[in-house]
Each structure stands twice: as structure tokens, then as C-alpha cells.
Amino acid sequence: MKLQRMNRRALALGALAVSSALALTACGSDDTGGKDKDAGAQASTQAGNIKCDDAKGQLQASGSSAQKNAIDAWVKQYLAACKSVQINYNPTGSGAGITAFTQGQTAFAGSDSALKPEEIEASKKVCKDGQAIDLPMVGGPIAVGFNVPGVDTLVLDAPTLAKIFDSRITNWNDAAIAGLNPDAKLPDLKIQAFHRSDESGTTDNFTKYLKAAAPGEWKYEGGKSWEAKGGQSAQGSSGLAQQVKQTSGAISYFELSYAGDGVKTVDIKTEAAEPVKATVENATAAIAAAEVVGTGKDLALKLNYTPDAAGAYPIVLVTYEIVCDKGNKSDSLPATKSFLNYIASEDGQGLLKDAGYAPMPEEIITKVRETVSSLS
């Protein structure tokens, strides 16, 4: 799906639906039943550490679907402490989220790609005397999920992935795949490659990996929109994960947090001696080597998609919260700062690993905390 202009009525309806879901999540009864009391005590302690300050009212936000599971976990804890706030996060995708933000419809946006110069320029219309900035808040591996009957472990490299997603390798018993998996019983089965239909930072990061690690095989420029021909599409990371789960012969890309319910993930062959599994720890090893390339208060990162260190997973993304450095709306600024302060805190980042995400390295998250405190 190409980037769409969202009118205010559509955004309001979407936000209302998400609001209802989040309200149920935050206010519903505890369904953990007989689980250990330590989890409940930890949650209570975390809620007690959250500083609500003057936060109140509704906080509208939208964007990255990659971070939805993290947002859900954060919102549940935050609303338990700050009962005067209602948070409506609509996982519309990174591109739509940035558009809604630059049109003044949301307090912040989530994006799996750093802002482009033209997006920063557009933000100056809503950020009075300021501009939008990137705050890296959530990290993690982009898993490549697959559904191949009889195959539990699968190794692929960047050139082979590029050919698969460019419709140049179309069967699971192809010689290139067999060469990387000599012990696997690969079936004579058509490959069903799925990509995002909506504009997505996950697509942007996945194709940046293909372009960096297999430049001879991936000839597309990249970006939030899928450019290769062929294949099938689905909306959102959850849509892709569902297609892999239900479609024999399927392969797709999505955040590790969506690879639940028995979805198998590909081990990626890099320059290291052993293929690398998609794990939070292996993604953290790659993100820790990222370089801050933003200027001023902007903390955009440059990721290394071709690591050669053992255990460094090469397909990673960082989700940014997009917010005005100055000129935030006075009615939403207290809640925006309070919520962002919480998710950047030790407690907030501590929830990420269990949700399948990678916390930001300490050097980076320390800068994020300082920047959030200075928002005006």
C-alpha cells in the first residue's frame, strides 16, 4: 500500500478503536491467575517508580507497528500509575505515523527509520520555533520467518534472500538453498514470499540489509515502500507473521516479537564462522556498534548491516519516537514528557527483552533521557 493521506475523521476513528483496546488492556482484570507473585510485585514496584508529574488528558500517537507489542506493555504499566492519562497509539505504519505527526494530528509518532530532511522541514509547521527529532527507544532483530514442511532449521545468506524476495529463486529445493542446508530435506514446494503492503520502516531496514550485504543481487534503492516485483503482500508485521503461520511455503520478514506461536526463523549466514540466530542478545550486539549521526538533539543512528563479529545478528532495526524538540502543544506536553521519560527509564527499557525487543545500549539511552527532559 502506498503512503496514504489520512483525513482527520479516519485518524480519529482509528485512534478511538485503539483507545478502547488499550483501555481494556490497562484496566482489565489480571488474567495471570496462578503465576508467581514476584511478577505482580515487580509490576507494582515499577508503577510506583513512574513520575506522572502534571500529565493528564488524552495522548494521541501513531506509527510503527514494529513497536506495538512494546507500546502495549508500556501503556499497561504507565496507566496503572498515571490514571489521569489516556494513551491512544494507532499502529498505522511508520510512513503514515510521520504524516499524521507533521499534520499536527498526534503528539508523537513511532518510526523504524530516521526522519528524512523533507520530513524534518515539514515538521517545522507544527513544531513552533523547533523541529521534529528522532529518539531511539526500541531495538530488535528483524526475523525472517518461514513455513517449510519438514524443515525446522534453515540457514540463508543475503544473496539468497535477495533472490528469493526478487522472485529469482522460486522453489524451496533450489540449489542455492540446498547448498546452505546440506542436511535439510527441502521439499519440491513453491516459495510464497510476502512483503509489507503499507509503507514501513521494517521494509526500509530489511532492504537496507539486502542492499548492503548483497549489492550485486539487490538493485533497488530501498525505502519504506516495497519496490521489487512479484511476491505477495500483507499489512503490518502482524499480517506478515499470520501469513507465514498459515501458508505452506511462506517466507517473510517481521520483528522477532511477532514470531510467536511456533513460527520458525531463519539463521543468517554472515562473515562469521557460524550462522547467527535472530535473538534479542544478538541484535543488541549489533545495535551497540551503531553510530549517532543526528545533529543537535536529534539522535538518529547509523546501523551496521554487515557485521562480521561472532553472534552479531545483521538484520536489526531501531524504532524512534518522533517528537518536537520545541513547540510541543501545551495541553499534551506534560503527558508526552512523562510517558517518554518512563519508556526511556531503566524500568521501561527493562520490559523490552521479555517482549522480544532489545533495550537501547546505555550510552544511547542516557542521551535520550537527557533530551526528553529538555523538551518544551
Mean local confidence (pLDDT), 41-66: 82
Average pLDDT over the chain, rounded to an integer: 88
- In order of their start, the domains of the chain are 8-28+39-138+324-373 (3.40.190.10), 141-286 (3.40.190.10)
Q: Could you report the per-residue pLDDT of 189-216, keeping only the tens digit for each?
A: 999 999 999 988 899 999 999 999 999 9
Write phi, then psi, for 267 (nearest 5 degrees): -85, 130
Residues 73-99: pLDDT tens digits? 999 999 999 999 999 999 999 999 999
Across-strand partners of 90? 62
Q: What pTM was computed for the model?
A: 0.76
What would you report as the CA-atom Rg of the chain, rounded to the nearest whole angstrom?
Answer: 21
Q: What average pLDDT score do residues 301-318 get? A: 92
Residue 231: closest CA among 281, 197, 268: 197
Return the C-alpha cell found at 101. Answer: 505527526
DSSP secondary structure of 230-290: SSEEESHHHHHHHHHHHSTTEEEEEEGGG--TT-EEPEEE-SSSS-B---HHHHHHHHTT-
> What cell does 146 get?
518461514
Q: What is the pLDDT of residues 116-138, one digit of tens each?
A: 999 999 999 999 999 999 999 99
